[in-house]
Amino acid sequence: MSLLPSVGQPVSRLEGQLKVTGRAQYAADYSIPGLVYGYVINSTVTKGKIQRIDTTKAMSLPGVIQIFSHVKRPSLAWFNLQYADMDAPPGSPFRPLQDNKIIYNGQPIGLVVAETFELARYAATLVEVEYEQEAFDTDLNANLSNARTPKIGMATMLKPPPPRPKGNFEKAFSESLVQVSAEYYHGTEHHNPLELFATTTVYEGAGKVTIYDKTQGTVNSQLYVANIFGLKYKNVRVIAPYVGGAFGSGLRPQYQLFLSVMAALELKRPVLVTLDRSQMFTFGHRPPTIQRTRFGADANGRVTAMNHAAIGETSRFEDYTEVVVNWSHMLYPADNTLMQYKLVELDVFSPLDMRAPGGVTGMHAIESTMDELSYQLKIDPLQLRLINYAEKDESLNRPYSSKELRACYVQGAARFGWEHRNPEPRSMRRGNKLVGYGMATGIWEANTLPARAEAIMTTDGKLHVNSAVTDIGTGTLTVMAQIAADELGLPIQDVTFSYGDSKKPFAPVQGGSFTVSTVGSAIKTAGKALRKKLLRIAGKVGDGVFKKLELDDVLFENGRIALKNDPLTSISFVDIVAANDGNPVKVIKFSVPNVLKLKKYSRAAHSAAFVEVEVDEELGVINVTRAVTAVAAGTIINPKTARSQILGGMVWGISKALREETISDHHFGKYMNQNLGEYHIPVHADIHDLDVIFVEEKDDIVNALGAKGVGEIGLIGMPPAISNAICHATGKRINHLPIHFDNLL
Amino acid sequence: MNNFSYIKAASVQAAIDQSTAGFNVKYIAGGTNLIDLMKYNLTRADTLVDVNRVQENKDIIEMENGGLRLSAFATNAQTAYNPLIERRYPLLSRAILAGASAQIRNMATNGGNLLQRTRCYYFYDANVPCNKREPGSGCAAIAGYNRIMAILGTSESCIAVFPSDMCIALAALEAIVNVEGPEGSRSIPFADFHRLPGDTPHLDNNIGQDEIITSIDLPAKGFSKNYSYLKLRDRNSYAFALVSVASGLDLDGDVIREARIALGGVAHKPWRVEEAEDFLRGKPANQSNFRQAAEMILKGATGYRHNEFKIELAKRAIVRNCMMALNPATQLPGAQPSV
Ligand SMILES: Cc1cc2nc3c(=O)[nH]c(=O)nc-3n(C[C@H](O)[C@H](O)[C@H](O)COP(=O)(O)OP(=O)(O)OC[C@H]3O[C@@H](n4cnc5c(N)ncnc54)[C@H](O)[C@@H]3O)c2cc1C
Ligand code: SF4
């Protein structure tokens, strides 16, 4: 009997036990003999120059080893390019301790290294810094007149600029029967993964370091460190098997990495630098963004004209961009479109991708506008989406590799009970509360990048797979093991997957929901190559029944290769490896997506979110009492981990719509709620009934797995579905997020 | 390092002796506020005297006047779940359970709750002006982001809010705070315990440097039939009140014999207005009377740029909460609004 394929099974996380019993070691958990501790000193001003930095008092404390700053640091790489990581937007990357210039509030300006963390933290308070302050600006709303077109760079490859205008928007809009226009806003948000950013650098002797880093890309950190400190790539090893959440914050090397490595190289000792929670607010964030939409429709509800314009925040040193305005035309086939995207430079750190960057921002505006249009047209919001259903991607005029969004709408609506919605706002009640139903569409691109993977058949007939990829808590380890198991027809217990190590074969950063697709494809490719190699070796064994056979002629099952037409004739993997002079059989394969083929299609995961809210109108209290998200994302490799991803995204959607915000005080140019007590992410009491549906979707084009990735799609439809539900409940449309109860009073 | 000595006091007297003998001594109970303040470098202590081990009885004592005496050293959780409190002072139980999280309530003590410091963002950020932290430096909140700040009893020096939930119920119940110090013991009526900011915003309350809170007396009247605590906040748990209301009603049929209404989240101390409570005496318990009382309670309220909404919200919350008090069964756990 052949084994059931592992792909498609709800396999529990293989590392789950280690995590819940505290045995999984994170970047700050390595107790290395002689370890010393670094604490970062951050600028208390927003812009200006350091005039004097006096470390005398701090240095005189016994146990303080060194205090680094711009006046006390090794010489560093000179060119911008050497600071550019794989995810760097166009511009000049931030260089810690480069000179005396202060360019944002909270900028790291020094590192105290001491025998204990507590001592380093205390010593940091004794370092005296005098600044010459300069005028600054951190307020997006006050600087909209400075909006400009973003620079183009490498990052643009994954983040295309807005599509070209089509038809004549202004004319079509002014002539359309029904017109809706609105402005949308959300402020700054910080990633706030549970695990604090930390790096432990072990000095291994001249020019050689081993680094335990919190990152979403071991190779990214490796290249960054090697380039800046002039080390050989092979002498820099970055290890990150467990990552306690990152949500994009680990896509770029953060300053604790730089500081830890610098200190270790200088002191020739192992150095751990951990940021504290407030320091987690001193690097990338989701940028505040203002959007305007103008949609026009005809009497039948067909959207004829769409204008979506967004202005996002960036720093003065990099042009961080997001794909905010490209989505509406992928979803709705209007003949006249105008999409605009601009940036305003402010005295802040560069923004950084945060879960569904741009997508969740843009779709909030688009799907709220569609909802408003449905009221104007007196057409059910779901019906309006179906009327405007795009069979192909009109923005680029190409078909979708697959698109089961219609099934998402239908199955989601059925599970939710959408038909019970009374179209009239304020018409549904439960007790003294208003009840509202809202829905929205979600879309997220399904990308694949090149990656390498190694597959090894060991002497005991087990499969070992290697990749540098991290597992940021999404279940990567588990799904990769599943994919690998199926390649060789082995049970998952016979597979080990080693990952989170830059020494292993190359993988790009883990983000954008492209990891399963990218690394999974590489593993598939390596798995196939290993099958071929095993078969070739089998051909040399014994009476040569396997000689000259192709993969199609045989089966890989139960740890053996068997003839397809005579399954009783078989040879075990153990015997094959034995025949390989007893050496494990290894292959390393590079898998590169077939760009020529992929270019002909738009590839995206879709979703439909349905939300019920209860609103206590008198007091403004809002609760999301029920939500259903139906997702079309191709093959679901592991329904359990995938469901967790969607649930996490839905919770984040509730958070984004109703809870989290970074409070800025533009007078001081800084963030005021830099802790988890005041930066409100949802608590259990905020989360009620959440339900996930995966609709069937077959995709032979997107990649060999037919899988699209589910990391972001669960979030995207939720914020607009929630604000639409609030509008249905109360008749009030609130277009800035988060919506607080004071907005409803 | 920020070194300090740590001493476990075996009795209240021993704790006071330690405090008077040393320099810059602080009592530590649950540590849920003090330790944070020390980590933020806002509070320094050369000596911490741990009062958790004092031998005095941590149980609740029934007093001759029919009231109860709560130990200052008992935890918030022990107090909220004590059957006597649940039965006779359910308002207090509800208010405590509306605060913080289960873990924090397990550590936090009753004494510490009274002395917790404000949650004003600017107070916690040593790099911006704050009169409470550094007298004379100015108040950054007045022109800053002041959504969570006070609307009543503010001054030009400070618009901070006292963040406790428990104390709002204690104010409504007219508790008495018993303290002991080098000069002996004294009892402070709850209304006189906390201060308004005036031009001394660095003083939160009227307890002396070496004084220790030993117990809190609850008068006999517990309003256990008609009570309600309502907390409005930015998430359903683990967030401080933007507005909270404690209501206790003593009814004769549908006529109010006595009403107690205390507001939280709106001032530097729990806010009560006797005039409003007097107004309700002898009146039918209905929306319109509660609304009139609410207008009296909010008289003189001034909003700042981001917290204007609190004025109307507080009024509505008072009305709703008093209506919920008519039928406590309508309250949801965690002090969520329901009726
Ligand atoms: C994240 C978070 C959320 C919270 N949310 C809420 C909330 O929603 N509602 C709410 O009401 N509270 C909330 N709290 C506050 C919490 O209730 C207080 O921190 C707690 O009650 C303080 O008690 P403690 O015993 O830990 O005091 P400690 O931190 O030990 O002490 C606080 C102060 O009181 C002094 N002190 C302690 N005991 C005595 C005594 N017997 N005599 C004299 N002085 C004494 C100490 O010297 C110190 O100055 C929250 C706290 C945190 C950390
Ligand atoms: S309101 Fe009070 S605590 Fe807040 S900044 Fe002003 S003075 Fe300080």
CA distance B322 to B157: 33
Smallest Cα distance from B237 to chain A, Å: 6
Q: Is A510 exposed, middle or buried (0-12, 13-18, 19+ CB in 10 A)?
A: buried
Q: Which string of b and e fits A581-612 if b means at least 16 CB within 10 Å?
A: eeeebbbbbebebeeeebeebbbbbbbbbbbb
Q: Please tell me the pTM assigned to this model.
A: 0.97
Cross-chain CB nearest to B234 (options A432, A623, A680): A680
Q: Are residues A370 and A505 in the same domain?
A: no
Rounded CA gap, A403 and A500, in Å? 33
Q: With an 8 Å Cβ cutoff, are B145 and A665 in contact? A: yes
Q: Do A626 and A584 have their domain in common?
A: no
With an 8 Å Cβ cutoff, is A122 touching chain B? yes
pLDDT score for B329: 85
Which of A246, A276, A306 delimits the end of a domain?
A276
Residue A663 and residue B121: Cβ atoms within 8 Å?
yes
In the prediction, which pLDDT does B335 show? 63
For residue A29, name the pLDDT band (cuts at 50, 70, 90).
Answer: very high
β partners of residue B28: B50
Q: Cα–Cα distance between B171 and B189 in angstroms, integer?
A: 9
CA of B37, closest CA in chain A: separation in Å? 13
pLDDT higher than 60, residue A1: no
**Measured from the CA of B29, which atom of ligand 1 is nearest?**
30
A27: in domain: no
Q: Are B320 and A667 a contacting pair at CB < 8 A?
A: no
Does A656 reside within a domain?
A: yes
Contacts of B122 in chain A (CB under 8 A): 672
Verify whether the Cβ–Cβ distance B336 to A125 is below 8 Å: no
A87 within domain boundaries: yes
Domain count, chain A: 3
Q: Please indicate whether residue A3 or residue A33 has the higher confidence score (pLDDT).
A: A33
- Tell me which chain B residues have a C-beta less than 8 angstroms from the C-beta of A663: 121, 145
Please indicate, yes or no, whether residues A380 and A410 belong to a single structural domain of this protein: yes
Look at A107-111, A152-156, A312-316, B108-112 and tell me which has the smallest mean pLDDT.
Answer: A152-156
SS3 of B227, please?
strand
Interface contact flag, A116 B1, Cβ < 8 Å: yes
**Structural domain of residue A239, as residue ranges?**
36-135+193-276
Taking the CA of B141 as reference, the closest ligand is 2
- Angle of helix A476-488 relative to helix A515-539, nearest 10 degrees, comes to 30
CATH of the domain at A519: 3.30.365.10
Show which of residues 228-257 on chain B sit within 8 Å of chain A, judged by CB atoms: 232, 234-239, 242
Whether residues A182 and A216 fall in one domain:
no
On chain B, the residues whose CB falls within 8 A of the CB of A682 are: 235
A691 pLDDT above the threshold of 70: yes
How much distance in Å is there from the Cα of B105 to the middle of ligand 1? Answer: 9
- Helix ranges (DSSP H) in A28-138: 56-59, 117-126
Picking from B33, B120, B121, B311 by the largest number of A CB atoms within 10 A of its own CB, the best residue to mutate is: B121
CB A591 within 8 A of CB A521: yes
- Please tell me what DSSP assigns to residue A87: T
Which domain-ending residue is among A570, A592, A614?
Answer: A592
Tell me what pLDDT residue B328 has: 87
Is residue A289 a contact partner of residue A312, using CB atoms and an 8 Å limit? yes
Residue B265 backbone zone (phi > 0: left; psi -120 to 50: alpha; other: beta): left
Q: Is residue A41 domain-resident? A: yes
CA of B29 to the centre of ligand 1 (A): 8
Instruction: State the pLDDT at residue B333.
Output: 63
**Hey, are the CB atoms on B127 and A44 less than 8 Å from each other?**
yes
Nearby residues of A534 by Cβ (< 8 Å), 6 or more positions away: A457, A561, A573, A576, A585
CA distance B165 to B217: 17
Q: Examine residue A411 and state whether it is found in any structural domain, yes or no.
A: yes
Q: What pLDDT does A3 receive?
A: 75
Neighbours of A743 (CB within 10 A): 14
How much is the pLDDT for B2?
77
Chain A hits for B147, CB-CB cut-off 8 Å, are: 742
How close B96 comes to chain A (CA, Å)? 17
- CA distances to A223, B71, B173, B189, B264 from B178, rounded to whole Å, are 64, 10, 15, 9, 22
A741 to each of A367, A611, A615, A616, how far by Cα in Å?
22, 18, 9, 9
B119 at A interface, C-beta within 8 A: yes
- Look at strands A36-42 and A271-274 and give their pairing: parallel
Q: Do A294 and A403 have their domain in common?
A: yes
Q: How far apart are the first and last CA of chain A?
A: 66
- Suggest the residue from B236, B307, B312, B336 to mutate for an interface test with chain A (most A CBs closer than 10 A): B236
Size of interface A-B (CB pairs under 8 A): 82
- Give residue A184 CA to ligand 1 midpoint distance, Å: 40
Higher pLDDT, A244 or A76: A244
Q: Do both A621 and A740 map to the same domain?
A: yes
Position A153 scores a pLDDT of 85
Calpha distance A252→A213 (Å, rounded): 12
Tens of pLDDT, residues A552-604: 999 999 999 999 999 999 999 999 999 999 999 999 999 999 999 999 999 99
- Same domain flag for A438 and A495: no
Give percent above pLDDT 90 in chain A. Answer: 95
State residue A380's pLDDT score. Answer: 98
Within 6 A (CB) of ligand 1 lie A 677; B 26-34, 36, 51, 72, 76, 99-100, 104, 107-109, 111-113, 115-116, 163-166, 212-213, 240
Return the ligand number nearest the Cα of B193. Answer: 1
Ligand 2 near B140 CB (within 6 A): yes
User: Which of B116, B121, B128, B130 best tests ligand 2's pocket when mutated (most atoms within 8 Å of CB)?
Assistant: B130
Ligand 1 midpoint to CA A37 (Å): 31
Q: Of A734, A702, A705, A706, whose CA–CA distance to A720 is shortest?
A: A734
Say if residues A435 and A611 touch (Cβ distance below 8 Å).
Answer: no
CA B329 to the chain's CA centroid: 24
CATH number at residue A267: 3.90.1170.50
Interface test with B, best of A665, A666, A745 (most B CBs within 10 A): A665
B291 touches chain A (CB under 8 A): no
Whether residues A653 and A711 share a domain: the answer is: yes
Residue among A623, A685, A740 whose CB faces B234 most closely: A740
Q: What is the pLDDT of residue A2?
A: 62
Contacting A residues, span 409-448, partner chain B, CB-CB under 8 Å: 431-432
Ligand 2 neighbour B160 (Cβ under 6 A): yes
In the block, tokens 């991290």 appear at A470
Q: What is the ipTM of this complex?
A: 0.96
Where is the domain boundary, A561, A592, A623?
A: A592
Chain B CB contacts of A670 below 8 Å: 125
Q: Which helix (H) or strand (E) holds A393?
A: strand A392-393
Q: Please tell me the distance between residue B115's alpha carbon and the centre of ligand 1 in angstroms.
A: 6
**Cα(A642)–Cα(B222) distance, integer angstroms:** 52
Same domain, A159 and A209: no
Say what the pLDDT of residue B218 is.
Answer: 98
Q: Chain A within 8 Å of B144 (Cβ-Cβ)?
A: yes
A623 touching B, CB under 8 A? yes
- How many Å separate Cα A218 from the centre of its chain? 15
Ligand nearest to the CA of B268: 2
For chain B, which ranges sit under pLDDT 70?
1, 333-339
Q: Is the same domain home to A510 and A563? A: yes
User: Is A684 an 8 Å CB contact of chain B?
Assistant: yes
Query: What is the model's pLDDT at position A629?
Result: 98
Q: What domains can you pick out in chain B, each with its CATH number? A: 1-55 (3.30.43.10), 227-331 (3.30.390.50)
Question: Does residue A16 lie in a domain region?
Answer: no
Q: Which of A198, A232, A192 is nearest to A213 (CA)?
A: A198
Between the CA of B92 and the centroid of ligand 1 the distance, in Å, is 16
Mean pLDDT of A300-305: 98
Q: Is the Cβ pair B232, A621 closer than 8 Å?
A: yes
User: Is residue A2 a part of any domain in this protein?
Assistant: no
A577 shares its domain with A649: no
Does residue A93 form part of some domain? Answer: yes
Nearest residue to B180 (alpha-carbon basis) of B25, B44, B65, B20: B20
**CA B141 – ligand 2 centroid, Å:** 6
Pair A506, A546: CB distance under 8 Å: no
Q: How far is B25 from chain A (nearest CA, A)?
A: 20
Are residue A630 and residue A739 in the same domain, yes or no?
yes
Distance CA A283, CA A351 (A): 8
Check whether A336 has a pLDDT greater than 80.
yes
